[in-house]
Structure 1
Amino acid sequence: MTDTRVETTSRLAQWRIDNLGLSTYRKSDPFKIGKWNWRLVLEKNRNLSIRLYPEISSLNKDSHPIASFIIRVVCSLGGRKALVHPEVRDKQLKSGEDFVWPLEVPLGGRFIIDVEFLDLKTTYQNGGESYSVWTEHFTQKDLCATALSSIGKMLSDSIHTDIIINASNGSIGAHRAIMAARSPVFKTMFSHDLKEKEMSVINISDMSIESCQVFLNYIYGNIIDQDFFTHRLDLLRAADKYDVTDLKEACHESLLDDIDANNVLERLQYSSLYHLPKLKICCMQYLVRFGKIFDIVEDFNVFIQSADRELIGEVFSEVLSVWKGF
């Protein structure tokens, strides 16, 4: 690994410097977070400073990022010590107007520059309010709006419903044909002499009526982005249970986007339970390769008391692998 390479996961970037030496200027290779390629720069005049900026090209010249992030310097000299810049919120960054952090403490030996992006926003080319780029991939703009609206209306207005779905705290009417078309599990229920076919009732007691409504909205092609993000863990469970593969993959991709110290252990367990390989890799990277396991020691101790033994073994195997190479 060279001193210019930056390692990344979905929202986290780390630049490892083995030795700054007598260098007065060092620039990282470009690294991609969100829609942009970014660079980190170390400059030494009187003091050492760190710069962060996006590379603006002809393809994104009209969409400068509005970034929220935390930047840290973790130094291995004399034990693991961290310098943390106060959280930066909604700062618009341009190539000529980048972020600069002057360090008042000299750095020696190995150290890591760690940038964790909390959000990245941009604005539409014709102006208007900013929006998070991490919600863009979940959109219905390529679907036939008129047809979807009509199918959604069948659900919202209970038009000729022929089956009742009982959630944990309420019921909603739906249509066998649409549910069977979207889920092989529902298709089997309605094609064989099972109680669901005979009684025209499906019991989904492990979902609230709110989550069940959002699940049905997805099946009917009428889901709202914010509802998806609010209920995506319940949606993941339902997608796995009823074999709605496109919903499961949408949840999988979404859960990759906002891994942080508060949710990484939960996400890691979900990755194992629902066989989400990319999510498992990203959680492992966040915890081990990027060293975040040191920031959540108490939570990790609770995790190893209750988590699947095989999963815990994978975590420790990854720890040993990384430490051998350090």
Structure 2
Amino acid sequence: MTALLEQVETPPAWVDPLMLHSGDAVSLSITPMWFGLRAITSALTHTYASPATARLLRRTDKPRQTVARRLAESRVWARQTIRPGGLLRGEPGYVTTVGARLRHARLRATALTDWDSGGPALPIGRLDVARTWLGFTLVAHHALAAVGIGTTSEEERHLYRYWSCVAHLLGLDEILYRPVVDHAGACHLRDLLDAMAPAPDGTSRTATAAVIGAHAHATAHAPGAALYEDELRDLIHCLLRRSLGGTAADRLGIPDVAAAAGLMPLNKTLNRQARYWQTFFLATAQTARRQAAEEPGPEPEPIAAVLPLGVALRRRSSTPAA
């Protein structure tokens, strides 16, 4: 524990304190609804594409409930991490990131024990943690770009500088993440990891279906929901296929839903136009980030944690009194 604290409490020389105080300005500019629906779901889907990670669900009797909890925890962690000052020592994003590192260590210890006993599981290593890191950077923002929410070259550089601090807290070796300064570098790292990782298997497909089902169920049963659970599931299927590509989606068992795909070009155009005007002026960009940072904090219950809070609150406030 002493070695751990010495490492995480000694920021590398390249860390910019002003950047930590500002937070992940790129992710904060994303509407909370799309951040939850696209970024988090895509990141977890990418993570569970690794059979080693997906096999962890076999340790539980209720995999869907476990996935729902992980989905909620991931959204809480991501929101705490990107907030201004969230990665400063002792702040929520810092604490939850180091806590995730400790959980990974415990999972590795358990997996090694099972392996020594003849079990099929292998411990999650640095490469799987790197996949998770790419899930919340490259994959999440590729997913957002698929619905018209793109990033500039300058925003990409800022994004990876900020998330390099997250990688440091997670204990990743700098040789894995420091060369990554934009999406092109992240794509190169992803291709290297994919070349060394087994292809998604039945366990990966089961985990992917559980992530999609848990997110659709939580959002459909949240206050102010506008779509039914099956409609949300179709929408998520369509969004994932557009961001992951047809081949990767087929390997994960994500069906092609033609009905939901019909609305995607219009949706993408509207998002692109909204983001253009949102970031056209410095004042509007700062307002958007401040509103995202001031979103009500996620509740401990999974349904509340994955609810796109901003949208639900606006709907309730706009509903005329009876």
Q: Tell me if TM exceeds 0.5.
A: no
Greater C-alpha radius of gyration: 1
Q: Tell me the TM-score range normalised by the shorter chain.
A: under 0.3
TM-score of the superposition, structure 1-length normalised?
0.24
Which structure has more relative contact order (CA 8 Å, sep 6+)? It is: 2
Higher strand share: 1
Higher helix share: 2
TM-score of the superposition, structure 2-length normalised?
0.24
